[in-house]
């Protein structure tokens, strides 16, 4: 184990509490491992190491992230995500395989999935849009976290008015998914896209409302004006 990862783990273990650990468990249906440290503290701890990480080659930073991911602890995955995102100006096409490997091998809850994909994978896709078709492959994976990752990776770009065609294509692939966390993921993606493309998303959900699970539908129309919500919900 690297000295830096060992130091992070030691500090997380020292800061954790049973109360926070039990509190964190309430947000997940699946079993998670937690040190019992609150998110703002995890973020502050991770940021303290950024000056040192800037002196390292990106490959070494990613190796540290892999060590953190491998523990299965929620807080350590949060540190890994922040460290990886801090390398965004150094991203290159080969990094996609690294991120896919983390999702496939280590992501085991919605928080880890969203923290990695909203920012690190989302920024990668903006920088290298030729990888957008890979998200459609994710959306067809038997792995629930790969399918959720496909959607949540486009949330930040969609808010910026990017990739509407791909957003709707992913929503179609995931439309009848039976996993509630995947449904919420693509509903959230549509909700984000509606900020820039309200009418297009409204028309999309109206055309599919008889097939779209209500969980996804509610997410997709959450920020729409009341009159559009009423129409989209079929009332």
139 and 214: one domain?
A: yes
Write down the pLDDT at residue 173. Answer: 98
Tens digit of each residue's pLDDT (9 = 90 or more) over 116-142: 999 999 999 999 999 999 999 999 999
pLDDT at 233 over 90: no
71 and 119: one domain?
A: no
- Specify if 98 maps to a domain: no
* Cβ-proximal residues to 149 (8 Å cutoff; 6+ apart), any chain: 103, 107, 113, 116, 117, 121, 135, 138
Q: What is the CATH number of the domain that holds 147?
A: 1.25.10.90
DSSP conformation letters of 78-146: HHHHHHHHTTGGG--TTHHHHHHHHHHHT--SHHHHHHIIIIIIHHHHHH-GGGHHHHHHHHT-SSHHH
Tens digit of each residue's pLDDT (9 = 90 or more) over 140-167: 999 999 999 999 999 999 999 999 999 9
Q: Which domain holds residue 149?
A: 113-235
Mean pLDDT of the chain: 94
Joined tokens for residue 158:
């969609």
- Specify if 108 maps to a domain: no
Tens digit of each residue's pLDDT (9 = 90 or more) over 63-112: 999 999 999 999 999 999 999 999 999 999 999 999 999 999 999 999 99
Write down the pLDDT at residue 235. Answer: 57
Q: What is the total count of domains within the chain?
A: 2
Tens digit of each residue's pLDDT (9 = 90 or more) over 1-57: 699 999 999 999 999 888 877 877 777 888 889 999 999 999 999 999 999 999 999
Tens digit of each residue's pLDDT (9 = 90 or more) over 164-204: 999 999 999 999 999 999 999 999 999 999 999 999 999 99
Write down the pLDDT at residue 13. Answer: 93
85 and 129: one domain?
A: no
* Cβ-proximal residues to 77 (8 Å cutoff; 6+ apart), any chain: 68, 69, 106, 107, 111, 112, 115, 116
Write down the pLDDT at residue 145. Answer: 98
- Specify if 213 maps to a domain: yes
126 and 171: one domain?
A: yes
117 and 66: one domain?
A: no
215 and 139: one domain?
A: yes
3 and 74: one domain?
A: yes
């Amino acid at each position: 184990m690297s000295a830096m990862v060992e130091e992070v783990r030691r500090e997380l273990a020292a800061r954790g509490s049973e109360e926070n650990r039990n509190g964190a468990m309430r947000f997940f249906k699946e079993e998670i491992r937690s040190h019992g440290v609150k998110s703002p503290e995890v973020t502050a701890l991770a940021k303290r190491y950024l000056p040192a990480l800037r002196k390292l080659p990106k490959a070494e930073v990613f190796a540290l992230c892999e060590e953190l991911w491998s523990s299965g602890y929620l807080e350590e995955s949060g540190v890994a995500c922040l460290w990886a995102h801090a390398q965004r100006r150094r991203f290159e096409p080969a990094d996609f395989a690294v991120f896919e490997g983390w999702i496939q091998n280590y992501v085991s809850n919605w928080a880890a999935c969203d923290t990695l994909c909203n920012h690190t994978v989302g920024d990668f896709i903006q920088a290298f849009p030729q990888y957008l078709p890979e998200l459609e492959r994710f959306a067809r994976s038997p792995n629930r976290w790969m399918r959720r990752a496909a959607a949540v990776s486009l949330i930040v770009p969609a808010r910026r008015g990017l990739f509407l065609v791909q957003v709707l294509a992913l929503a179609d692939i995931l439309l009848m998914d039976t996993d509630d966390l995947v449904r919420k993921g693509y509903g959230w993606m549509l909700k984000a896209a509606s900020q820039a493309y309200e009418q297009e998303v409204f028309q999309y959900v109206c055309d599919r409302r008889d097939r779209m699970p209500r969980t996804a539908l509610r997410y997709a129309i959450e920020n729409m004006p009341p009159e559009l919500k009423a129409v989209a919900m079929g009332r």
